[in-house]
Chain A
Amino acid sequence: MIELSELVKIYRVPVKSPGLWASVRSVFSREYTEVRAVDGISFTVEPGERVGFLGPNGAGKTTTLKMLTGLLHPTSGSCSVAGHRPRERAPEFLRDVTLVMGQKQQLLWDLPPTETFLLNRALFDLDRREWQDTVDELVELLDLAEVVNRPARNLSLGQRMRCELVAALLHRPRVLFLDEPTIGLDVKVQQQVRRFVRTYNERHGATVLLTSHDMDDVAALVDRIILIDKGRVRFDGGLRDFSERYGAGRRITVRGGLSVLGPLGFTAAEAGTCSATVPADEVNPLLQAVLARLPSADVSVNDPPLEDVLARAFGEQT
């Protein structure tokens, strides 16, 4: 459904030193530098897959999404989405994809979201009955019936973001590009958005490529992670493989007992527990040491939290 081969995007960016003289000089002679935002990315996403496209700020995630939606033209390499070359922006391609950006909006600011829905019906040339069915379905799924007739400017961020999702999915796209879709939302709305994306994916078999810095998004939505940094793919695999590669061991959690276990490397964790993360081959010796000191300890052994894994993965890359 999505294929990238050695995709490269180089930006030509003007540079100017600070100060008046530099400003005057830049009027006559402007200097440029080249930034390789995406540096030879290749991967494939199958139909119906939900993939997390992760990386630190400036890694090239959003640039890649913009190339995959045809907004940016690649400097070299190739990509195809749903059988189309995105840069050609063929109407059939635009009916197959959508791009939701958490910090940008397509809602008409002074009009109710229903007007944007109507506008998109015209722009995507949707059958009136199918459009109405889709609006009803999405409005119900996102619990928006009470707010869609109020001007967008009068809605809360969470209500607006949910309306954005409706507007972005009215044409029932087969490929969803979601760029930080839950940024700035409260926990309840975040959960609602995640549930919605999952339901849409399962109901319509849509392919989802998601960028997010929120690990709850990743844990709840994706089965596969593609990690990029400095414009190159550093990891591509399942969530479990990702944890094993970057998790650097396992996390032993003990309820209480920090004063006794502190010398063994345990630190305070959430809800009255303490924990230590150690390489896999040190788990058993450490468990024996814990049980020797606290024979009736309540102990659990897990993968480390995704935040820690990702922080470690980013740390290794940067």
Chain B
Amino acid sequence: MSHVLRALPDLMRVGVAGAVAYRAELVIWILTATLPLVMLAMWNAVALDGPVAGFDQDGLARYFVATLVIRQATSVWLVWEMNYEIRSGRLSTKLLRPLHPFWQYATSMLTVLPMRLVVLVPLVAALVWWRPTLLAWPGLTAVLLALASTALAWILTFLVQACFASLAFFLDKTDGLFGVWFGMWALLSGYVAPLATFPDWARPVVELLPFRGMLAVPVELLGGFLSPAEAMTDIALQLLWVGVFAVLTGAVWRRGIARYGAYGA
């Protein structure tokens, strides 16, 4: 771990240099992740006649702008990158270095975050100008908890993708399989609709699944829909799922790496 901490500044520096080199591509990726704004427009129309599942138009705006921000902050593309590197043999380069490949992937993805902010800030500023109530302050505790919960959501997203990507050692290609998970995530994480819109009988089950901890928990904290006291259970659940996927991913990786073919490299 001390090696990781010593390596971080240089890894970040090189990561930022890489992100700057791909800046045009990065802007396009960020703009393609603006689905929450589309959902906001849709739900805004639905809420014209009155609140939906307790969300009025201001509430929906806060929810989907928070979704936009948290989605950008937890963006991970490990499953596609690792799938490519396993199939092409490019993973070999990372395996020949004494820092675990997951650290190398993680730092390269984290260094893009500041670049995302550069694009995100003017976008959010424009939305605040359109609807000033977005500036409603949820309280310092809620914001701090939202930050912690966002970090956990990022780690959970990373581990889930690492798990699916490691299956590529057995199945050759798993980005299609991950597509099934992604569909479930979009529905059950609160990405396309607040989880409060689910029927009462389904909500307790949905809230126990890992998807909520990958997006909805920090979104609801930041939007002021979840009190700090209520959030503690959800954060504990996030930690539990992080633990589950850490163990699962570690097991799949260890078994998978023994089958690695290092084809073409």
Contact = CB atoms under 8 A, between A and B. Distances in A.
- Whether chain B is bound by chain A comes out as yes
B262 interface: yes
Interface of B: 3, 6-11, 13-14, 17-18, 21-22, 89-90, 92-93, 95-99, 104, 257-262, 264-265
B17 A106 contact: no
Contacts of B6: 122, 125
Interface in A73-126: 73, 87, 89, 91-92, 94-95, 97-99, 101, 104, 106, 108, 110-111, 115, 118-125
A106 B93 contact: yes
B261 A108 contact: no
Contacts of A94: 96-98
B261 A70 contact: no
23 contacts: A71-B92, A71-B262, A72-B260, A72-B261, A73-B257, A73-B260, A87-B258, A91-B98, A94-B98, A97-B96, A99-B92, A104-B90, A104-B93, A115-B17, A118-B10, A118-B13, A119-B11, A121-B10, A122-B6, A122-B11, A123-B99, A123-B104, A125-B6
Interface residues of A, number: 32
Nearest to B90: A104
A95 B260 contact: no
A104 B85 CA distance: 13
A118 B11 CA distance: 8
Contact of B258 (A73, A99, A108, A120): A73
A71 B8 CA distance: 25
Contacts of B264: 104
A87 B254 CA distance: 11
Contacts of A115: 14, 17-18
A66 interface: yes
Contacts of B92: 66, 71, 99, 104
Interface of A: 11, 66, 69-73, 87, 89, 91-92, 94-95, 97-99, 101, 104, 106, 108, 110-111, 115, 118-125, 151
Nearest to B264: A104
A122 B17 contact: no
A64 to B, nearest CB: 12
A120 B11 CA distance: 9
Contacts of B10: 118-119, 121-122
Contacts of A111: 14, 17-18, 21
A95 B3 CA distance: 13
A66 B18 CA distance: 29
A73 B18 CA distance: 33
A87 B258 CA distance: 8
B38 to A, nearest CB: 32
Nearest to A104: B265
- Residue with the greatest number of chain A CB neighbours at <10 A, chosen from B6, B21, B93, B97: B97
Contacts of B257: 73
A99 B96 contact: yes
A256 B8 CA distance: 68
Given A71-B260, A108-B18, A122-B11, 13 more contacts: A66-B92, A71-B92, A91-B98, A104-B90, A104-B264, A110-B21, A115-B17, A122-B6, A122-B10, A122-B99, A123-B11, A123-B104, A125-B6
A270 B29 CA distance: 60
A104 B262 CA distance: 12
B54 to A, nearest CB: 48
